[in-house]
Amino acid sequence: MALPLTLATSLTPAELELIATEQLIDIVPLFRSDRIRLISGTYGPFRPPTKTRVPLWFATNLKLKKKCRLVAPPWLSVEFLQEKLIQETSAEGFSVLPLRFVEIGKVLLDVASDDLHNSDKIRNLLKDLREARQAKSREGLRKLDHEMLELPHLCSMEINEIRPFFVKAMDVMGKIKADTIPEHLARVSQEME
């Protein structure tokens, strides 16, 4: 989403993707190796066909070198996403999804779509789910009052998208509220006299 520079105080989608690549994911290595020590931790051993948990950035690097197959997280399946899409379109609140489902889904679909069953269907479901959730967050912003906004179960990308608008709106609403308080106090004091 393109934002004016005055509102572009949040992270970019690319930066959020980079943060999401720290999430651990299962892989099936296609090579043999002992444990590998990295700054972020020690991973392995790598013995095919045994699954190993590594950060997403490491998994994508190995995948691009054809050294592993990525194992999709349980939530990245057609059945799960269809169920969540039904919940999003029929229930009032947001359904519970992983915090970084948008970013992780995008990275996995970009790098390892051949490792995912029905990757095109998954891509479409993620897009539909995202659109349904964006419509709900826009509706939530319409109901904004000066004290709070309650939108539980938002993912990091959604929070990042509404943050600039929310901060600006809360600031304006706070100023309006501050301007009306003296008028209200004056009216109350006149009524008491």
| Cα-to-chain-centroid distance, residue 117 | 22
Token pair in block for residue 119: 């990757």
Mean pLDDT across the chain, nearest whole number? 85
Task: State residue 154's pLDDT score.
Answer: 83
Q: What is the reported pTM? A: 0.79
User: Which string of DSSP letters, residue by residue, matches 97-117?
Assistant: --TTHHHHHHHHHHHHGGGST
pLDDT surpasses 90 at 177: no
Please tell me whether residue 72 adopts helix, strand or coil conformation: coil
Task: State residue 50's pLDDT score.
Answer: 96
Mean pLDDT of 58-70: 97
For residues 185 and 178, is the Cβ–Cβ distance under 8 A?
A: no
pLDDT surpasses 70 at 2: no
Phi, psi at 25, each rounded to 5°: -140, 150
Token pair in block for residue 168: 């600006």
pLDDT surpasses 60 at 190: yes
Give which of 100, 86, 81 is closest to 154, Cα–Cα. 100
**Is residue 176 classed exposed, middle or buried when 0-12, 13-18 and 19+ CB atoms within 10 A define those classes?**
exposed
Task: State residue 152's pLDDT score.
Answer: 81
Please tell me whether residue 21 adopts helix, strand or coil conformation: coil
180 — pLDDT class (breaks 50, 70, 90): low
Instruction: Report d(CA 171, CA 55) in Å as an integer.
Output: 39
Instruction: Report d(CA 53, CA 17) in Å as an integer.
Output: 19
Task: State residue 108's pLDDT score.
Answer: 97
Q: Which of 15-19, 79-83, 155-159 has the lowest mean pLDDT?
A: 155-159
Instruction: Report d(CA 115, CA 77) in Å as an integer.
Output: 12
Q: Which helix (H) or strand (E) element contains residue 130?
A: helix 119-142
- Other CB atoms within 10 Å distance of the CB of residue 104: 22
pLDDT surpasses 70 at 82: yes
pLDDT surpasses 60 at 185: no
